[in-house]
Amino acid sequence: MKIHKPIVLITGATAGIGAATAKIFAENGYPLILTGRRQARLEALKEGLNTEVLTLCFDVREKEAVKNNLLNLPEAWKNIEIIVNNAGLAAGLAPIQSGEVEDWEQMIDTNLKGLLYVTHSLVPGMIERGNGGHIINVASIAGKEVYPNGNVYCATKHAVDALSRGMRMDLLPHRIKVTNIAPGLTETEFSIVRFKGDVAKAGTVYAGITPLYAEDIAEVIWFAATRPPHVTLNDIVIMPTAQASSTLVNRK
Protein backbone atom coordinates (compact mmCIF):
# COMPACT_ATOMS: atom_id res chain seq x y z
CA MET A 1 0.00 0.00 0.00
CA LYS A 2 1.46 3.30 -1.08
CA ILE A 3 0.43 6.13 1.17
CA HIS A 4 1.14 9.66 -0.01
CA LYS A 5 -0.92 11.60 2.53
CA PRO A 6 -1.03 11.43 6.33
CA ILE A 7 -3.05 8.64 7.89
CA VAL A 8 -6.07 9.97 9.77
CA LEU A 9 -7.68 8.05 12.65
CA ILE A 10 -11.27 8.98 13.51
CA THR A 11 -13.08 7.58 16.54
CA GLY A 12 -16.86 7.37 16.64
CA ALA A 13 -16.94 7.19 12.84
CA THR A 14 -20.19 5.26 12.46
CA ALA A 15 -22.48 8.31 12.37
CA GLY A 16 -22.76 12.07 12.65
CA ILE A 17 -19.63 14.19 12.85
CA GLY A 18 -17.31 11.17 12.65
CA ALA A 19 -18.84 9.86 9.43
CA ALA A 20 -18.97 13.34 7.87
CA THR A 21 -15.32 13.90 8.78
CA ALA A 22 -14.35 10.58 7.20
CA LYS A 23 -16.08 11.61 3.97
CA ILE A 24 -14.33 14.96 3.63
CA PHE A 25 -10.89 13.46 4.27
CA ALA A 26 -11.64 10.62 1.85
CA GLU A 27 -12.68 13.09 -0.84
CA ASN A 28 -9.23 14.58 -0.52
CA GLY A 29 -7.40 11.27 -0.75
CA TYR A 30 -6.37 10.70 2.86
CA PRO A 31 -6.09 7.08 4.06
CA LEU A 32 -8.39 6.50 7.03
CA ILE A 33 -8.56 4.36 10.13
CA LEU A 34 -12.19 4.41 11.24
CA THR A 35 -13.25 3.15 14.64
CA GLY A 36 -16.65 2.58 16.19
CA ARG A 37 -18.84 0.10 18.01
CA ARG A 38 -21.03 -0.90 15.04
CA GLN A 39 -19.23 -3.11 12.55
CA ALA A 40 -21.98 -3.05 9.93
CA ARG A 41 -22.00 0.73 9.88
CA LEU A 42 -18.22 0.87 9.63
CA GLU A 43 -18.27 -1.44 6.63
CA ALA A 44 -21.10 0.48 4.97
CA LEU A 45 -19.18 3.73 5.41
CA LYS A 46 -16.02 2.15 4.06
CA GLU A 47 -17.83 0.99 0.92
CA GLY A 48 -18.82 4.56 0.13
CA LEU A 49 -15.36 6.08 0.51
CA ASN A 50 -12.98 6.39 -2.41
CA THR A 51 -9.79 5.99 -0.41
CA GLU A 52 -7.89 3.31 1.50
CA VAL A 53 -9.71 2.49 4.74
CA LEU A 54 -8.99 0.29 7.74
CA THR A 55 -11.95 -0.30 10.05
CA LEU A 56 -11.56 -1.24 13.71
CA CYS A 57 -14.62 -2.22 15.72
CA PHE A 58 -14.20 -1.56 19.44
CA ASP A 59 -15.58 0.60 22.25
CA VAL A 60 -13.25 3.39 23.39
CA ARG A 61 -14.46 2.76 26.96
CA GLU A 62 -12.65 -0.59 26.96
CA LYS A 63 -9.00 0.16 27.75
CA GLU A 64 -7.67 -3.25 26.70
CA ALA A 65 -9.65 -3.21 23.45
CA VAL A 66 -8.22 0.22 22.62
CA LYS A 67 -4.68 -0.94 23.31
CA ASN A 68 -5.08 -4.27 21.50
CA ASN A 69 -6.35 -2.56 18.37
CA LEU A 70 -4.16 0.54 18.26
CA LEU A 71 -0.89 -1.00 19.42
CA ASN A 72 -1.13 -3.87 16.94
CA LEU A 73 -1.88 -2.08 13.71
CA PRO A 74 -0.63 -3.51 10.42
CA GLU A 75 2.77 -2.06 9.55
CA ALA A 76 1.39 0.04 6.69
CA TRP A 77 -1.08 1.73 9.03
CA LYS A 78 1.12 2.61 12.00
CA ASN A 79 2.24 6.09 10.98
CA ILE A 80 -0.85 7.95 12.11
CA GLU A 81 -0.37 11.71 11.91
CA ILE A 82 -3.88 13.02 12.59
CA ILE A 83 -6.15 11.82 15.41
CA VAL A 84 -9.76 12.98 15.52
CA ASN A 85 -11.07 12.14 19.00
CA ASN A 86 -14.73 12.32 18.08
CA ALA A 87 -16.34 9.48 20.05
CA GLY A 88 -18.63 10.95 22.68
CA LEU A 89 -22.21 11.14 23.90
CA ALA A 90 -24.69 12.57 26.34
CA ALA A 91 -26.87 10.25 28.40
CA GLY A 92 -29.88 11.66 30.19
CA LEU A 93 -30.80 15.20 31.18
CA ALA A 94 -31.60 15.43 34.88
CA PRO A 95 -30.68 17.40 38.00
CA ILE A 96 -27.74 16.03 39.92
CA GLN A 97 -29.88 14.54 42.70
CA SER A 98 -31.90 12.38 40.32
CA GLY A 99 -29.38 11.54 37.62
CA GLU A 100 -28.65 7.90 36.87
CA VAL A 101 -25.20 6.76 37.94
CA GLU A 102 -25.02 4.44 34.94
CA ASP A 103 -25.47 7.45 32.65
CA TRP A 104 -22.72 9.32 34.47
CA GLU A 105 -20.33 6.40 34.12
CA GLN A 106 -21.12 5.99 30.42
CA MET A 107 -20.37 9.66 29.75
CA ILE A 108 -17.20 9.75 31.84
CA ASP A 109 -15.92 6.50 30.37
CA THR A 110 -16.63 7.54 26.76
CA ASN A 111 -16.06 11.28 26.63
CA LEU A 112 -13.07 11.46 28.95
CA LYS A 113 -11.43 8.10 29.58
CA GLY A 114 -11.96 6.88 26.01
CA LEU A 115 -10.27 9.98 24.62
CA LEU A 116 -7.37 9.41 27.02
CA TYR A 117 -6.99 5.72 26.13
CA VAL A 118 -6.83 6.49 22.40
CA THR A 119 -4.45 9.41 22.79
CA HIS A 120 -2.18 7.55 25.21
CA SER A 121 -1.92 4.63 22.79
CA LEU A 122 -0.98 6.70 19.74
CA VAL A 123 1.01 9.74 20.87
CA PRO A 124 4.21 7.87 21.85
CA GLY A 125 4.48 6.67 18.25
CA MET A 126 4.00 10.20 16.97
CA ILE A 127 6.76 11.43 19.24
CA GLU A 128 9.11 8.59 18.30
CA ARG A 129 8.67 9.22 14.56
CA GLY A 130 9.46 12.90 15.06
CA ASN A 131 7.24 14.17 12.26
CA GLY A 132 4.88 16.19 14.41
CA GLY A 133 1.20 15.43 14.13
CA HIS A 134 -2.22 16.78 15.02
CA ILE A 135 -4.78 15.82 17.67
CA ILE A 136 -8.28 17.20 17.17
CA ASN A 137 -10.62 16.80 20.15
CA VAL A 138 -14.34 17.21 19.52
CA ALA A 139 -15.63 18.86 22.68
CA SER A 140 -18.77 21.02 22.95
CA ILE A 141 -20.15 24.40 23.95
CA ALA A 142 -20.96 22.38 27.10
CA GLY A 143 -17.21 22.51 27.76
CA LYS A 144 -17.40 26.30 27.91
CA GLU A 145 -20.67 26.81 29.81
CA VAL A 146 -22.74 24.74 32.21
CA TYR A 147 -26.49 24.54 31.66
CA PRO A 148 -29.31 23.27 33.89
CA ASN A 149 -29.50 19.47 34.15
CA GLY A 150 -26.32 19.12 32.05
CA ASN A 151 -24.09 18.65 35.13
CA VAL A 152 -22.04 15.52 34.36
CA TYR A 153 -22.10 15.88 30.58
CA CYS A 154 -20.87 19.46 30.94
CA ALA A 155 -18.21 18.26 33.39
CA THR A 156 -16.87 15.74 30.88
CA LYS A 157 -16.70 18.32 28.11
CA HIS A 158 -15.05 20.85 30.42
CA ALA A 159 -12.49 18.12 31.05
CA VAL A 160 -11.95 17.67 27.30
CA ASP A 161 -11.44 21.43 26.98
CA ALA A 162 -8.85 21.35 29.77
CA LEU A 163 -7.16 18.28 28.35
CA SER A 164 -6.84 19.96 24.97
CA ARG A 165 -5.00 22.87 26.57
CA GLY A 166 -2.85 20.54 28.66
CA MET A 167 -1.96 18.37 25.65
CA ARG A 168 -1.00 21.46 23.68
CA MET A 169 1.48 22.39 26.41
CA ASP A 170 2.88 18.91 26.91
CA LEU A 171 3.29 18.18 23.20
CA LEU A 172 4.66 21.58 22.20
CA PRO A 173 8.31 20.36 22.13
CA HIS A 174 7.29 17.58 19.74
CA ARG A 175 5.56 19.85 17.21
CA ILE A 176 2.26 18.04 17.72
CA LYS A 177 -0.68 20.36 17.22
CA VAL A 178 -3.79 20.14 19.40
CA THR A 179 -7.14 21.63 18.41
CA ASN A 180 -10.27 21.77 20.54
CA ILE A 181 -13.56 21.91 18.59
CA ALA A 182 -16.59 23.17 20.55
CA PRO A 183 -19.87 22.95 18.60
CA GLY A 184 -23.20 24.29 19.70
CA LEU A 185 -26.52 22.71 18.69
CA THR A 186 -25.68 20.16 16.02
CA GLU A 187 -28.38 17.86 14.68
CA THR A 188 -27.00 14.32 14.61
CA GLU A 189 -27.91 11.20 16.62
CA PHE A 190 -26.74 13.11 19.71
CA SER A 191 -30.16 13.97 21.15
CA ILE A 192 -31.67 10.63 20.17
CA VAL A 193 -28.92 8.94 22.19
CA ARG A 194 -29.33 11.40 25.06
CA PHE A 195 -33.07 10.69 25.27
CA LYS A 196 -32.54 6.96 24.77
CA GLY A 197 -34.31 6.55 21.48
CA ASP A 198 -37.14 9.05 22.01
CA VAL A 199 -37.09 10.64 18.54
CA ALA A 200 -39.95 13.05 19.26
CA LYS A 201 -38.26 14.42 22.37
CA ALA A 202 -34.95 14.66 20.55
CA GLY A 203 -36.59 16.69 17.81
CA THR A 204 -37.65 19.41 20.24
CA VAL A 205 -33.99 20.28 20.83
CA TYR A 206 -33.74 21.67 17.29
CA ALA A 207 -37.32 22.96 16.92
CA GLY A 208 -37.68 26.43 15.44
CA ILE A 209 -34.06 26.85 14.39
CA THR A 210 -31.66 25.83 11.69
CA PRO A 211 -29.04 23.93 13.70
CA LEU A 212 -25.54 23.01 12.70
CA TYR A 213 -25.14 19.75 10.83
CA ALA A 214 -22.40 17.13 10.95
CA GLU A 215 -20.99 18.38 7.65
CA ASP A 216 -20.54 21.87 9.11
CA ILE A 217 -18.32 20.53 11.88
CA ALA A 218 -16.46 18.21 9.50
CA GLU A 219 -15.56 21.17 7.30
CA VAL A 220 -14.08 22.99 10.29
CA ILE A 221 -12.12 19.90 11.34
CA TRP A 222 -10.79 19.62 7.78
CA PHE A 223 -9.84 23.30 7.75
CA ALA A 224 -7.99 23.02 11.07
CA ALA A 225 -6.15 19.89 9.93
CA THR A 226 -4.94 21.42 6.69
CA ARG A 227 -3.39 24.64 7.96
CA PRO A 228 0.31 25.13 7.19
CA PRO A 229 2.81 23.59 9.64
CA HIS A 230 3.40 26.93 11.38
CA VAL A 231 -0.32 27.50 12.09
CA THR A 232 -2.31 25.84 14.91
CA LEU A 233 -5.95 26.57 15.68
CA ASN A 234 -6.04 25.94 19.41
CA ASP A 235 -9.74 26.37 20.14
CA ILE A 236 -12.74 26.78 17.85
CA VAL A 237 -16.28 27.52 19.06
CA ILE A 238 -18.95 26.94 16.39
CA MET A 239 -22.58 27.93 16.84
CA PRO A 240 -25.67 28.02 14.66
CA THR A 241 -26.65 31.60 13.92
CA ALA A 242 -29.77 31.15 16.06
CA GLN A 243 -27.75 30.26 19.17
CA ALA A 244 -25.75 32.72 21.29
CA SER A 245 -25.03 30.50 24.30
CA SER A 246 -25.95 27.13 25.75
CA THR A 247 -29.28 28.48 26.94
CA LEU A 248 -29.98 31.45 24.64
CA VAL A 249 -31.56 30.25 21.41
CA ASN A 250 -33.73 32.30 19.07
CA ARG A 251 -36.57 29.95 18.10
CA LYS A 252 -39.22 30.96 15.58
Per-residue model confidence (pLDDT) at position 129: 96
Q: With 0.85 as the threshold, say if the pTM is over it.
A: yes
pLDDT digits (tens, 9 = 90+) for 60-116: 999 999 999 999 999 999 999 999 999 999 999 999 999 999 999 999 999 999 999
Per-residue model confidence (pLDDT) at position 4: 66
| Candidate list 30, 117, 147, 153, residue with the active-site label | 153
Per-residue model confidence (pLDDT) at position 15: 94
Q: Distance between CA atoms of 2 and 27, rounded to whole angstroms?
A: 17
Asked if 76 and 31 count as a contact pair (C-beta separation under 8 A), the reply is no
Q: What is the DSSP string of 75-91?
A: GGG--EEEEEE------
**CB neighbours of residue 181 within 10 Å:** 25
Query: Which superfamily, per CATH, for 7-238?
Result: NAD(P)-binding Rossmann-like Domain (3.40.50.720)
For residues 126-159, b (16+ Cβ closer than 10 Å) or e, as one string? Answer: bbeeeeebbbbbbbbbbbbbeeeebbbbbbbbbb
pLDDT digits (tens, 9 = 90+) for 190-204: 899 999 999 999 999
Give pLDDT < 70 ranges for the chain: 1-4
Q: Give the single-character DSSP code of 249.
A: B
Per-residue model confidence (pLDDT) at position 1: 47
Q: Distance between CA atoms of 171 and 173, rounded to whole angstroms?
A: 6
Q: Distance between CA atoms of 31 and 34, rounded to whole angstroms?
A: 10
Domain boundaries, the chain: 7-238
Q: Catalytic residue at 153?
A: yes
User: What is the percentage of the chain residues whose pLDDT exceeds 70?
Assistant: 98
